[in-house]
Copies of this chain bind each other. A is one copy, B any other.
């Protein structure tokens, strides 16, 4: 298989899975020569990306995310779409890839040619993991996948990161336990564009309806993330494949409403710009932290700042001076 950017790009545009997998591996690599190749590839493929609906999915532990994604995924394939399932899991560096690492979790879906499942890249920072997933999303789109699901494990700020790279954010909950939002972190509920109470089957069906009412009430107390969109709360059973088609219809309706209002294009433009600036800020800060002079200063400055003997502003100024060590700051 080709290993130069041009041939690889061509193979990806032709929809070759192995080329796509290799490209993702390049994007995820930290080797400088891989990065150069990855950049060349992204430069070629980005103009061909973007033609998908990007769906972020999060949920409480035990909400049945994998089962839901499998059931929804099979339904989406049946509608004639090609589906990529990606993940953002900043804890995967420690846990060794806790979500989607085990393909058997979505056994049926992973056997389909029109589905592409990729575990979360490993990485020390959420920023690093997010960047690679964003880039992988572009590659998948260039390869012709027109539905992209980005799953998040729900650690730290990963939901916000996923909401910032997708068109729609779907929150998966369990029946019952509505009194404390089942351990959902602050702010997550407000990211949701669609709330699904899963496992609405058997004995839990009634509880699920009750929970849905609770969540509808809770959502009324919050501002919707999206203009022209009242966040629906529905029940479903991924196990019994009920409510899945309805959920997909809501996704399609959401996309239509936001496309017509121009909000989708606007959001994506904003996301792209933010991504550029976040990337710039992170790379810049990473370069600063890696600078030898700076690295020597950090422990002492942090200590002084915490002890209250040095104003943080001054500590920052010292870090900058050490990093830029030129006259740029006095311009």
Instruction: List A residues at the B interface (Cβ < 8 Å).
Output: 32, 39, 42-43, 46-47, 49-50, 131, 134-135, 138, 178-181, 183-187, 189-190, 214, 218, 220-223, 225, 269, 272-273, 275-277, 279-281, 283-285, 287-288, 290-291, 301-302, 305-306, 308-317, 319-320, 323-324, 328-331
Give the complex CA separation of A179 and B285 in angstroms: 43
Name A313's contact: one of B39, B214, B308, B315 (CB within 8 Å).
Answer: B39
| B contact residues around A225 at 8 Å (CB) | 186
- Closest approach, in angstroms, between the C-beta of A133 and any C-beta of chain B? 12
State whether A305 touches B276 (Cβ < 8 A): yes
The 9 A-B pairs at the shortest CB distance, nearest first, are namely A279-B316, A186-B190, A276-B312, A275-B312, A42-B311, A280-B316, A269-B306, A46-B311, A218-B221
Q: Among the listed B32, B42, B178, B288, which residue makes an inter-chain contact with A221, where contact means beta carbons less than 8 Å apart? A: B178
Beta-carbon contact of A316 and B181 below 8 Å: no
Closest beta carbon of chain B to A189's beta carbon, Å:
7
25 pairs across A/B with beta carbons < 8 Å? A39-B313, A42-B313, A43-B310, A46-B309, A46-B311, A47-B308, A50-B308, A134-B312, A135-B313, A180-B220, A181-B221, A181-B223, A185-B223, A272-B306, A272-B308, A273-B306, A273-B312, A275-B313, A279-B316, A280-B316, A284-B285, A284-B288, A287-B320, A287-B329, A291-B328
